């Protein structure tokens, strides 16, 4: 009985070793880390021209196309403040 138990333990150890060797041989080879590329962030120059269309009661009253300066777009919770330079090439 003891010999059978020892033989079974040896067979179990050999099977475990064979499985471990097979898993090691089938493992994917380590690939080198790709070289990091520097991150380049570009911010375009803001556009200084645009179009403003004024509507009154659903009817277009005027159109301006030219230089516009946005001092505050309202995203900070404060009042919107926009300057339109009509004397500098704007059309009405």
- Per-residue tens of pLDDT for the chain, all 92 residues: 888 888 889 999 999 998 888 888 777 777 888 899 999 999 999 888 999 999 999 899 999 999 999 999 999 999 999 998 877 554 44
Tokens of 79: 């009042």
In a domain, 53, yes or no: yes
Would you give the distance in Å from CA 51 to the centre of its chain?
31
In a domain, 38, yes or no: no
CA-closest candidate to residue 71, choices 79, 63, 62, 59: 79
3-10 long-range contacts (CB < 8 A, ≥24 apart) are none
In a domain, 44, yes or no: no
User: In terms of residue numbers, what domain contains 58?
Assistant: 49-84
In a domain, 43, yes or no: no
In a domain, 92, yes or no: no
Give residue 55's pLDDT: 93
Give residue 76's pLDDT: 95
Give residue 92's pLDDT: 46
Number of domains in the chain: 1
Give residue 23's pLDDT: 84
Tokens of 5: 């138990």
pTM of the model: 0.44
In a domain, 70, yes or no: yes
Give residue 22's pLDDT: 85
Give residue 89's pLDDT: 53
For the chain, strand residue ranges (E) read 49-56, 59-72, 81-84
């Amino acid at each position: 009985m003891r010999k059978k138990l020892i033989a079974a333990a040896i067979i179990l150890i050999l099977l475990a070793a064979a499985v471990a060797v097979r898993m090691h041989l089938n493992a994917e080879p380590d690939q080198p880390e790709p070289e990091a590329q520097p991150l380049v962030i570009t911010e375009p120059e803001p556009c200084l021209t645009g179009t403003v269309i004024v509507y009154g009661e659903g009817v277009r009253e005027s159109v301006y196309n030219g230089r516009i300066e946005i001092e505050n777009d309202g995203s900070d919770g404060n009042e919107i403040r926009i300057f339109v330079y009509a004397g500098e090439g704007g059309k009405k």
